[in-house]
Structure 1
Amino acid sequence: MLRVLVVGFGDIAGRGIRSILRGPDILVTECGTEGMTAVVAGVRPDVLVLEAGPRGGGALAARLTAGAPGATVVLCSAHRTDLRVYPASGGCFTRPLSERTLVESVRGAG
């Protein structure tokens, strides 16, 4: 089972992401940015899907991945037309933002 933690999205966006990622082999948990470090430690996700916001989300990604070594990070936002993927193996790549690329990026971590 692939464990995905969705962090920092509002209610509507969070529901949309959960709906897109819904599947028998994916367990999606969601939290806000308050207390997220404890949630990351408890869930130990394989993938973090983060709201990048207008500033890009890099600082949030760095803080969360410190508590989830080996996790893939996917940054996306309504403020951008692409998503950035930081695979657990290292590096970074950018993909167009769509339902399909979100699912492929998350499943690629499994």
Structure 2
Amino acid sequence: MESIKDLFDEQDVLFKISHNLPAQSALRDFVHHNTIHAVQYLKFYEALRQTSQMFGYKTYLSIAEFMNLFYQGKIHEHILDRVIREKKEKKVSLPGKKSFSGTIMKKRFPG
């Protein structure tokens, strides 16, 4: 008859999952060490997506949080317009001097 040790090797399991566990908790403000080193081989946004799923980390602000920053003046309209134009200039055009951010910020977004 097999013993529990033969069926479940705690040390082997810990060794196998240790690669996915951060060496320390994520730091709130200052980061001097990559706590998500297990996914550093991935492209940046894929690594964020996977760590969010794996550890429950919040890796992005919500639309509401971005909008609040915009209305507080912490995200400047001219910079937002410039970035949108650079990223979307071939796909989207607004006539005249109408701003992208002005158009976008009037839309209602879920949550």
User: When the two structures are superposed, what TM-score results if normalisation uses the length of structure 2?
Assistant: 0.22
User: When the two structures are superposed, what TM-score results if normalisation uses the length of structure 1?
Assistant: 0.23
Q: Which has the larger share of helix?
A: 2
Q: Which has the larger share of strand?
A: 1
Of structures 1 and 2, the one with the larger relative CO (CA 8 A, separation 6+) is: 1
